Amino acid sequence: MIQFIANTIRGLVADIIEKANSGHPGMPLGTAELATVLYSEVLKHDPTTPEWADRDRFVLSAGHGSALLYALLHLTGYQMPMEELKRFRQLNSKTPGHPEYWDVPGIETTTGPLGQGLANAVGMAIAERMLAARFNRPAYEIIDHYTYVIAGDGCLMEGVTSEASSLAGDLQLGKLIVFYDDNEISIEGSTDLAFKEDVLKRYEAYGWQVLSIDGHEPEQILKALEDAKADTIRPTIIAAKTKIGKGSTLEGSAKSHGAPLGKDNVVALKAALGLPNDDFYVPAKVYTYFEEKRAQWATTRKTWESKFKAWSEQYPELRADWDRIMKRELPSDLETTLPQFEAGSSFATRDAGGKVLTALSSKLPELVGGSADLSPSTKTYVQGAGAIGNGNFDGKNFHFGVREHAMGSILNGMSVHGGFRVYGSTFFVFSDYMRPPLRLAALMQQPVIYVFTHDSFYVGEDGPTHQPIEHIEALRIIPGMQTIRPADANETAWAWLAALKRTNGPTALLLTRHKVPTLAGTNAEGFSRGGYILREPERKADLVLI
C-alpha cells in the first residue's frame, strides 16, 4: 500500500504543479516514498487536533518541494481541501510556493531559504527535551516526541546547517531525525560541480548517527527509522539515495527540478505508474486507508490526553504553569519585578539589561536564551540558572558558540515549537550574520527577542568592522520587527517588558557598551508609545530633528 500511495502522490504532485504552470516537481517525485512512510507509518500526529502539544514535528527543509507537503496534508486529513491544491502558487491561496508557518495546520515552520528548516528543527528538538525536563514526572511522560526533517543537497551546502548540526550533535539531540534527499542533483546540474564532500563523514564528526539507504525502498526506510530511534543519544541523519523526478521522463535530470514536467510528460508519468490519466486523481482506497489511520492516530492522542489529565490532577501547580506558558501569558505582577535606577547614576544599558534579565528570569521559567559566545560582554548569562549541555536540559542558559546564524534559526524553531520565550545575543554589528532568521521570525510573527549590544561608534577601539553604523536602519526596514534603542537604564527595563508583552512578532533591543546617564523624567507610559518629550526647550526651537 505504501508504494501505491507514493505513486498516487507522484501523480497528484505532477498535476498540482502543471495546473499552476510553476513549481518544483523533481524533489517531491524523488521523495514520495520517504514522506509516505513517515506520514502513514511513523509520525505521531492527529490531523483533527493539529495543535496537540506532544505531536511529532515534521519540517520540509527543502521548502521548494511544498507540493509534496500539501498533497500529504490533503490525503492525511488536515485542513487542505482539493480546491486548495488546485490553487497552488496563486494569490491568497493556502498553498504558496514555499510552506508558510501555520498557514494551514500541520505546517510547522516557514521554509524556503535552504537550510533554515533543518536549523529550525534543531530548535524544535531542543524545545522538546527542555519541556520534558521541566514537566515530565515519574509515570507521567507527557512530553515525548520526535522531530523529523527532509533536507536536500542544497540545504546541506548552506553554512547554517553546518552550524546547527554541529550544535545538535554536541547537545545529544537523540530525538532529531533527518532524511537527506541524496539525489546528487542541483539546479545547475550534478552536485559534483561544487559539492563532492562525504556528507556522512562530516555528520559523523558532528556526533551524529549516520545511516544510508535506498530512498525508494519502504522497508529500508522503516528499518532506518527504527535504527534512528534506537540511538537515544545521537541525532540521526539518513542518507536516502533517490532519483530526482522519479518515474518521469526527466528522472535523474536537473531539468525536473524547478519547472513543470509538461503535459506530455505528465501523461507518460501516470502511464508508467499505472495511474489513469485523470487530473488530480486520488483512488478511493487511499482516502479509506487514511480514514482508518486517523482513527488510530486519534486513539493515540486520546490516550495521551488521559495521561495529561491525570498528570494535571497530580501536579496542579505544574498544570497552572503549563497553561500560562502555552498561552504566552505573563504573570500579573511581572512589572513589579523590574529593577529601578536612580536619576543621575550611570550605566551601560547592556549592564542594566543584564540586571533586568536576571530579575525577569526569576519570575519566568519559560524565559531562556544565550549568546553566540559573548555572554560576558552582552550580559545575558543568568547566574544560578544553569546551562544547557552534556545531556542536561533543565537549565536556562545556552552556549550557542560562535554561530550567530544558527542561533537565530534555532531560536525560531524553539519559538514555533511552543513552551518558551527565547532570546539570543551578540554584538549589534554581527546581526548581519543572522539576518535570514530575523526576517523569518518577522514573517512568522514569532516573539523572539534579540539583545544586540555594543551599539554606536563608541566601540571605536575595535575599528570600523565593529561599529554598527547602518545596522539600525537595516533592522527597522524589516516589516514586523520591533526595534528599540533605550536611552537609559530605566528605559532598558521597560524595553524588556515591551518585548515580553509582544506576542505577534520579534523585538530587537539595542544596548550600549559605554555608560549613559540615567535621565530624570523618563517614564514608562511615554516609552510605551514609542517616543515622548523628555523636557521642553527653554527657547523656541528653530529646527526639530526626529
Instruction: Give the whole-angstrom CA distance, residue 249 versus residue 256.
Output: 9
Assigned domain for 324 exists: no
Assigned domain for 321 exists: no
- Given a cut of 80, whether residue 421 has pLDDT beyond it is yes
**Sign of the dihedral defined by the CA atoms of residues 312, 317, 318, 319, in that order:** positive
- With cut-offs at 50, 70 and 90, classify the pLDDT of residue 534: confident
Q: Does 489 lie in the same domain as 340? A: yes
Parent domain of 250: 2-299
Return the DSSP state at 38. Answer: I
Domain boundary among 299, 325, 351: 299
Does the annotation mark 251 as catalytic?
Answer: no
Number of domains present in the structure of the chain: 2
Domain boundary among 299, 321, 350: 299
Q: Does 113 lie in the same domain as 248? A: yes
Q: Does 479 lie in the same domain as 417? A: yes
Q: Does 352 lie in the same domain as 256? A: no
Percent of the chain with pLDDT over 70: 100
Assigned domain for 146 exists: yes
- With cut-offs at 50, 70 and 90, classify the pLDDT of residue 39: very high
Assigned domain for 312 exists: no
Q: Does 352 lie in the same domain as 474? A: yes
Q: Does 339 lie in the same domain as 291? A: no
- Given a cut of 90, whether residue 537 has pLDDT beyond it is no
The per-residue DSSP string of 115-162 comes to THHHHHHHHHHHHHHHHHHHH-BTTB------EEEEEEHHHHHSHHHH
| 218 membership: H or E segment, kind and range | helix 218-230
The per-residue DSSP string of 43-78 comes to ----TTSTT-TT--EEEESSGGGHHHHHHHHHHHTS
Assigned domain for 536 exists: no
Number of alpha carbons in the 13 Å side-chain half-sphere of residue 211: 25
Task: Indicate which residue of 163, 404, 525, 538 is catalytic.
Answer: 404
Assigned domain for 304 exists: no
Assigned domain for 537 exists: no
Region 309-328: what's the mean pLDDT?
A: 98
Cβ-Cβ contacts under 8 Å for 20 (sequence gap 6 or more): 88, 89, 90, 260
**Sign of the dihedral defined by the CA atoms of residues 280, 285, 287, 289, in that order:** negative
Q: Does 76 lie in the same domain as 212? A: yes
Cell numbers for 501: 508583552
Assigned domain for 15 exists: yes
Cα 156 from chain centre = 16
- Given a cut of 90, whether residue 294 has pLDDT beyond it is yes
User: Which residue blocks in 335-434 are alpha helix, DSSP H?
Assistant: 349-361, 375-378, 404-417
- Judge contact between 78 and 115, C-beta under 8 A: no
Percent of the chain with pLDDT over 90: 94
- Judge contact between 254 and 189, C-beta under 8 A: yes
Domain boundary among 274, 299, 324: 299
Q: Does 256 lie in the same domain as 178? A: yes
Q: Does 291 lie in the same domain as 339? A: no
Q: Does 344 lie in the same domain as 285? A: no
Instruction: Give the whole-angstrom CA distance, residue 316 versus residue 66.
Output: 41
pLDDT at 258: 93
**Sign of the dihedral defined by the CA atoms of residues 94, 97, 103, 108, in that order:** positive
- Given a cut of 80, whether residue 546 has pLDDT beyond it is no
**Sign of the dihedral defined by the CA atoms of residues 341, 343, 347, 353, in that order:** positive
Region 21-41: what's the mean pLDDT?
A: 98
Q: Does 368 lie in the same domain as 280? A: no
Least confident range from 47-56, 259-268, 348-357, 458-467: namely: 458-467
pLDDT at 278: 96
pLDDT at 544: 83
Domain holding 369: CATH number?
Answer: 3.40.50.970
Q: Does 256 lie in the same domain as 138? A: yes
Please indicate, yes or no, whether the overall pTM of this predicted structure exceeds 0.95.
yes
**Sign of the dihedral defined by the CA atoms of residues 256, 260, 265, 266, in that order:** positive
Tens-digit pLDDT profile for residues 110-148: 999 999 999 999 999 999 999 999 999 999 999 999 999
Instruction: Give the whole-angstrom CA distance, residue 30 versus residue 180.
Output: 12
